[in-house]
Amino acid sequence: MRRLLARVRSWEFVRQLRRNRMAVFGLAIVLIFLLAALFAPYLSPHDPLQRSLRQALDGPSWESPFGRDELGRDILSRVLHGARISLTIGLVSVGIGALAGVPVGAVSGYFGGAVDLLVQRLVDIMLAFPGILLAIIVVSTLGVGLTNAMIAVGIGTIPTYVRLVRGSVLSIKEYDYISAARAVGAGDLRIIFRHVLPNSMGPIVVQSTLQFAVAILWAAGLGFLGLGAQRPTPEWGAMLANSRMYIRVGAHATIFPGVAILLSVLGFNLFGDGLRDALDPRLRGRM
Amino acid sequence: MRVRLLVGLLLCAALASVGALAAEPQYGGRLVIAIGVEPESLDPIGMSSAPAATVSEHISQPLIYLDVDGTLQPSLAVDWEASEDGRVWTLHLREGVTFHDGTPFNAEAVKMNLDRFLDPASGAPFRFLIARVTEVEVAGEYTVKLYTDEPFAPMLAHLSHSFIAMVSPEQLRALEPGDAITHPIGTGPFKLERWNRGEQVILTANEDYWGDRPYLDEVVFKFVPEDSARVVMLETGEADAIMRVPPLDVPRLDAHADVEVVHATSVRVIYIGFNNLREPFTDVRVRQALNYAIDKQEIVDVILGGAGEPSTAPIVPAVFGYYEAGPYEYNPEKAQELLAEAGYPDGFSATLYHPTGRYMMDATIAETVQSYLMDIGIDAELITMEWAAYLAHLQEPPETADYDMYMLGWGTVTLDADYGLYALLHSSQWPPAGWAVGFYKNAAVDAALDLARVTPPLDVRQALYETAVKGIWHDAPWLYLHDEVQINGVREGVHGLIHHPLENISAWEAWIDR
């Protein structure tokens, strides 16, 4: 852990990141969405659930800069509250994926043999389904709803973590300092958690950032299909689904939640890419 | 210059007259109609909705036809009379009619079909239509007698119902017990060619039809639940006609050169039923509170673009037996008072089931209702279901029915209050027997409805229905929403489509000039 922190603090890393314009741009978007999510109740001009039928599908105006949706609800307020939901989904599902996937991947890579074989075949099975499909299967088993959507997306991301961590553990465990640790009598668990995992933190952080974008996208997809957040929750995907039938008469109701999904996913992807470049010593100097 | 203008005018006139000549009906062609949802069945004892009726009546016909004006017209039965005491109905059948498989249509065929419909074991959800019939007698090759236990006033109107459709006796004989008909063989102007589940039904003209052969060679009903998708199909010409144009799209379609928007009346009320057996809907104050909590006029004005009227009774004004009892005014304060009186000052949570693509703007209206209910502290969880699954879900007996509220519409297609009130609100019709899905029971209402069934004089019946409607309105077993209006869209060059107030679209007189 100390090694990682040292690297993060080091001038080299921040310099690398700052030199990457796209990464900074991505970080800016991520920060904007974070702020929007944190302060949504204060930033929203209206109650996101307040109906105003007489204003249904009114276009953007000073009073409601993003216009009104099919029930006359303020779209800006809904998009801001939607940021809360989407970021929560990202956090929870990435958390589930990482917490379950990282230890399993580490154990699988460290011990190898039969454990590895078993775990990896299970992961193969999970990877055989496209992630979103896996999430849909999980949601149909657990029942629709926001919480279950988060769990589903989380489960869908587990195999990626397992593979990733296993890969980096496989290479790290061959290093001399691991042999040294073993020579002074450190147990397997201690080696895994004190020496192996901290050294594979880089790829995990990068993967988590990228996975955040995927989680937002999948959750929006589930919401769009009616399997995620339920009406009237202002979730971006669900907003998109509900307003799409009015796209000919009030396109703004579809455009703004759509742009929100696009920008947040783009932001996390750019930032994640930048992080990877900055954290990977092999890519250093090539940017 | 002048000469040229004159020639031009003459040319125009000539072209116009060619156009007029083309207005003669033409044979041939294929007509595609996009409807919202797929029929849940085409078996007479399995059907329960207008989409099923719309498709079915092209294939298998009832004995009597209710035309667009609400008049009963001879169809497979050419003449009928009731006995003095009103307990025996004699039907004279059309001769020389054959089913699509060549089997002759006769009294024996009618008996087989009606017996099957009446058999309690067959579980026809619309058995109540003719449940008063105790015996069907073959009184001659082309004469059928129906015996009833009481004089059954709405008999003829009920026999015109699309679900009492005649299918081939050969087909019925070949049917294993408990099996459903998936490919009905009827006497109708079209034959069922193919039913691609989830996609479309293809019908072909019946060359041996007893009436005039339809102009069209083929009619295709496509199932497209998405409103906007149907509109696009109409605009691009992928569909020649669509049902239920979203009101918001009407101005744009009106401006479209190749499309005509058809407004037609309907006999349908849209409502949200309460499960009267489940807390807190067992309390009449709660049910009334919800009625006061919704601004029906605003829903009609904004979401339906004015296409409809807030309901004033559980049946529409055009139906015999109508009495103007409402509407419940929009009064959220009163709603909250009633809720507080009932012991729910802070509201409660409940489920609200609704279909999508079945009624005009159904999903949006459900969400609007949810929003209004939130105002008085009620947290309604919306559950959307696909049409056939939804209907099946609403046929659970009281012990297993798990819904608190459900959105449905009902067209009183016989234009007689019996069909609208008895079927939905008489306590004998609780599922699985019938469609009283809300498990409402009021002895006085039951008695009035029972009596009105067996009392022929119209003024007495009217008075009885007035009593029943008043009671039902006060008890509020439903959240009364609005009376629907149909908005269909038709491409230029399509003529003769029947937009029936029963919310059927019929193609047997339709033709295409291209």
A209-244 pLDDT, tens digit per residue, is: 999 999 999 999 999 988 988 989 999 999 999 888
pLDDT in tens, B325-380: 989 999 999 999 999 999 999 999 999 999 988 999 999 999 999 999 999 999 99
Chain B's closest residue to A226, CA to CA, is: B384
The partner residue sitting opposite B371, judged by closest CB among A51, A57, A248, is: A51
Burial B175-184, CB ≥16 within 10 A → b, else e: eeeeeebeeb
Where does the pLDDT of residue A26 fall: very low under 50, low under 70, confident under 90, or very high at 90 and above?
A: very high
Residue type, A212: F
The per-residue DSSP string of B226-291 comes to -HHHHHHHHHHTS-SEES---GGGHHHHHH-TTEEEEEE---EEEEEEE-TTSTTTTSHHHHHHHH
Asked if B479 and B296 count as a contact pair (C-beta separation under 8 A), the reply is: no
Helices (H), B271-361: 284-293, 296-298, 332-341
CB pairs under 8 A between A and B: 52
Name every chain B residue with its beta carbon within 8 A of the beta carbon of A245: 226-228, 246
Provide the total of helices (H) and of strands (E) in chain B, helices listed first: 16, 23
Tell me, what's the pLDDT at A271? 93
Name every chain A residue with its beta carbon within 8 A of the beta carbon of B364: 70-71, 242
Tell me, what's the pLDDT at B19? 43
Residue among B368, B373, B382 with most chain A CBs within 10 A, to mutate: B368
B228 in contact with A, Cβ within 8 Å: yes
CB-based contact A49 B371, cutoff 8 Å: yes
Within 10 A of A131 (CB to CB), how many other CB atoms are there?
A: 22
- Mean pLDDT, residues B483-511 taken together: 94
Where does the pLDDT of residue B170 fall: very low under 50, low under 70, confident under 90, or very high at 90 and above?
A: very high
Look at residue B99 and tell me whether its pLDDT is greater than 60.
Answer: yes
CB-based contact B367 A71, cutoff 8 Å: yes
The partner residue sitting opposite A245, judged by closest CB among B227, B301, B381, is: B227
Chain A's closest residue to B298, CA to CA, is: A53
Higher pLDDT, A169 or A5: A169
The partner residue sitting opposite B246, judged by closest CB among A49, A71, A245, is: A245
**Mean pLDDT across chain B, nearest whole number?**
92
CB-based contact B228 A226, cutoff 8 Å: no
Look at residue A80 and tell me whether its pLDDT is greater than 90.
Answer: yes
Asked if B299 and B481 count as a contact pair (C-beta separation under 8 A), the reply is: yes
Burial B188-215, CB ≥16 within 10 A → b, else e: bbbbbeebeeeebbbbbbbeebbeeebb
Q: Which residues lie below 8 Å from residue A282, measured CB to CB, with a gap of 6+?
A: none
Looking at CA atoms only, how far is residue A57 from chain B in angstroms?
10
Tell me, what's the pLDDT at A6? 61
Name every chain A residue with its beta carbon within 8 A of the beta carbon of B295: 53
Angle at B406 between CA B405 and CA B409, to 5 degrees: 140
CB-based contact B367 A248, cutoff 8 Å: no
CB-based contact A54 B374, cutoff 8 Å: no
Look at residue B2 and tell me whether its pLDDT is greater than 50.
Answer: no
Asked if B254 and B261 count as a contact pair (C-beta separation under 8 A), the reply is: yes
CA atoms within a 13 Å half-sphere pointing along the CA-CB vector of A238: 25
CB-based contact A57 B248, cutoff 8 Å: yes
Tell me, what's the pLDDT at A283? 56
pTM of the model: 0.87
Chain B's closest residue to A225, CA to CA, is: B384
Looking at CA atoms only, how far is residue A54 from chain B in angstroms?
7
Tell me, what's the pLDDT at A158? 93
Look at residue B400 and tell me whether its pLDDT is greater than 80.
Answer: yes
Looking at CA atoms only, how far is residue A238 from chain B in angstroms?
13
Running DSSP on this structure, what letter comes out for residue B168?
A: -
Name every chain B residue with its beta carbon within 8 A of the beta carbon of A226: 384
**Mean pLDDT across chain A, nearest whole number?**
89
Locate A20 and state its tokens: 């990457």
Length of chain B equals: 514
- Mean pLDDT, residues B488-495 taken together: 96
Looking at CA atoms only, how far is residue A52 from chain B in angstroms?
10
The per-residue DSSP string of chain A comes to -HHHHHHHHSHHHHHHHHH-HHHHHHHHHHHHHHHHHHTHHHH-SS-TT---GGGTT----SSSTT-B-TT--BHHHHHHHHHHHHHHHHHHHHHHHHHHHHHHHHHHHHH-HHHHHHHHHHHHHHHHS-HHHHHHHHHHHH-SSHHHHHHHHHHHHHHHHHHHHHHHHHHHTTSHHHHHHHHTT--HHHIIIIIIHHHTHHHHHHHHHHHHHHHHHHHHHHHHTTSSSPTTS--HHHHHHHHGGGTTT-THHHHHHHHHHHHHHHHHHHHHHHHHHHH-GGGTT--
Tell me, what's the pLDDT at B153? 84
B455 in contact with A, Cβ within 8 Å: no
B368 in contact with A, Cβ within 8 Å: yes
Asked if B361 and B471 count as a contact pair (C-beta separation under 8 A), the reply is: no
CB-based contact B371 A230, cutoff 8 Å: no
- Mean pLDDT, residues B73-79 taken together: 96
Tell me, what's the pLDDT at B123? 84
Q: What is the C-alpha separation between B375 and B370, in angstroms, rounded?
A: 9
Beta bridge partners of B269: B410, B483
Looking at CA atoms only, how far is residue A152 from chain B in angstroms?
20
Look at residue B34 and tell me whether its pLDDT is greater than 60.
Answer: yes
Looking at CA atoms only, how far is residue A174 from chain B in angstroms?
55
Instruction: Name the phi and psi angles at B429, rounded to 5.
Output: -105, 20
CB-based contact A248 B246, cutoff 8 Å: no
Chain A's closest residue to B231, CA to CA, is: A245
Name every chain B residue with its beta carbon within 8 A of the beta carbon of A53: 295, 298-299, 301-303, 368
Beta bridge partners of B350: B380
Asked if B92 and B77 count as a contact pair (C-beta separation under 8 A), the reply is: yes
CB-based contact A71 B371, cutoff 8 Å: yes
Q: What is the C-alpha separation between B195 and B56, in angstroms, rounded?
A: 12
B330 in contact with A, Cβ within 8 Å: no
How remote is the C-alpha of B26 from its chain's centroid? Answer: 30
Chain B's closest residue to A245, CA to CA, is: B228
List residues in chain A touching B: CB distance below 8 A.
49, 51, 53-54, 56-57, 70-72, 226, 230-232, 242, 244-249
Instruction: Report long-range pairs for B460-466 (Cβ below 8 Å, ≥24 apart).
Output: B461/B153, B461/B320, B461/B321, B461/B417, B462/B320, B462/B321, B465/B320, B465/B321, B465/B322, B465/B323, B465/B417, B465/B421, B466/B321, B466/B323
Look at residue B291 and tell me whether its pLDDT is greater than 90.
Answer: yes
Strand B241-242 and strand B349-355: the pairing is unpaired
- Mean pLDDT, residues B423-444 taken together: 93
- Mean pLDDT, residues B123-139 taken together: 92
CB-based contact A231 B370, cutoff 8 Å: yes
